[in-house]
Structure 1
Amino acid sequence: MILRRRAPVDPGDEFIRALFREHGNAMLAYATRLTGDRAAAEDIVQETLIRAWKHEETLGNGKGSVRGWLLTVVRNIITDRIRARNARPLEVAENEMTVPLEPDHSASVVTTMVTMDALAQLSSDHRDVLRCVYLEGRTVGETAERLGIPPGTVKSRTYYALRTLRERFNDLGLNMEGVAHEHV
């Protein structure tokens, strides 16, 4: 049989154990009542005991109530935690509702390339009408006057130019706004 020597008892360790035996339930009940959270209360009691260990001379001098000092420390720790939490901005969990989704830039690049290609395949008469009506924002009458053609011709060229663009986009699986169609 091997005899082992017990490690010497740390006087500070015994002091903390005695404090916990005598005041632990009161501290835990008080902290739980103030926080409403048993786990947080246990952490606060532990932190209070650490502070008591660091200030053993204050508690051991016989002045004032030990329990009063401990409960004051519990209250101060809770107050400090609340102040720290309130000093930080509110943390909001990221989800689909709180994080704005950024549009996919590549889709607009592809749409622009397809549009430029489709416009290049139109006749110059059709491109001129679309440029006046859609890019310059002119009315049918203003476009007719600018291009020197009748208003009915502006309307028909606009119709046929848009129909050609729409067909081109549909062939590529895109609609006129550049949003891909789902193929069934």
Structure 2
Amino acid sequence: MNKSLLDIVSKCRALLFQVPDMVDQLSQRDVHFIQVFTDWLREAEDFLKQYNYPQCSEIAGFRSQLLTPLLSVEKNVSRRKEQLHVASSLIHPSQNVLLAVVEPVEYKVSQAKEIISQILQLAKQAGMIRYEKHIDFNTYLMGLLEMFKNHEQLKPSMTKALTLVNQSDLLRIMAEEIDFT
């Protein structure tokens, strides 16, 4: 089964939206910041691993750098302060790893949305979009998708959209973009 690009965008954006709060915690020298940041790195790593992105190893490397001060043999250095210093230097590169993953995926999704939006506008003008409340919405969307895929003039655009995202994502995009008014 193909991975859902919409899920990747959603989960990655959720991780990225946590960064401002972590930076606030760091600036306030919150005692829980190191644990929160470590948990965030682990969550980012698990997310990347789940979707088979090799960048998970880069995030794991950042986690190991965060542990380095704890393994220091120097006696006169505050390990917590050193760990905070390391963490502050890792936030930006960690966030950039996720941005590098999500930006090309978001681009594909936005292209697919644009294509579907145009198709739906054309279909609406042609009178092809008529939803009856007694029909299950998912069944209706599947029928509409099949009609678009088989329509002589819409088929090339649908093929292009299906090269950008999988059919499940395409149905979700259609559900968001369709207008019955």
TM-score bin (small chain): under 0.3
Q: TM-score of the superposition, structure 2-length normalised?
A: 0.27
* Bigger helix share: 2
TM-score under structure 1 length normalisation:
0.27
Greater relative CO (CA pairs within 8 A, separation 6+): 2
Structure having the higher Rg: 1
